Amino acid sequence: MARIKADLSELAGKEIVDIVGMEKDSEEVTITTQCGTKFYFFHEKDCCEAVRLIDFECDAELGATIISAELVHSEAAEEDLDKYNQVGIWSFYKIETTTGGIWMRWLGESEHRFYSIEVEFQKDA
């Protein structure tokens, strides 16, 4: 199925029926909602960059309704990066639900600023 760009605010009010990919170093996390829509956190690799899930917590239960979702970016410190990479960015996702939270910390890193190192957020078309 084709995917289209989504806004994080579209998660609000949706009931979670499945979460796939919540594993260290995962390159994609998928949240499936009760209405059948799947939302994807991922990065489409171009060349000389990597984006992966570094850390996460999830105490939300399946069947919970999403109340809010937010994203915060910050520059990665040199010591956070692979020795070959020169630039990096942290992407922190915080999703609040009726039963708890989902928290994801992604690291995007690259040898050059030429390549995007951000997490993409899309949904089924």
Q: Which of 4-13, 38-47, 48-57, 68-77 is the most confident on average?
A: 4-13
User: pTM of the full predicted structure?
Assistant: 0.90
Instruction: Tally the domains of the chain.
Output: 1
- CB neighbourhood size of 116 (10 A): 16
Q: What share of the chain is helix, strand, coil (3-state, %, to 5)?
A: 5, 55, 40
**pLDDT the model gives residue 85:** 64
Q: Is the pLDDT of residue 19 over 70?
A: yes
Domain assignment of residue 57, given as a range: 3-124
Half-sphere exposure of 27 (CA within 13 A, CB side): 8
Q: Is the pLDDT of residue 78 over 90?
A: no
Give the CA distances from residue 65 to residues 8, 12, 41, 81, 100, in Å, rounded to whole numbers and listed in that order: 14, 8, 18, 35, 10
Structure tokens that stand for 4 in this block: 């289209």
C-alpha to C-alpha distance for 98 and 121, rounded to whole angstroms: 22
Judge whether 89 and 74 are in contact, CB under 8 Å.
yes
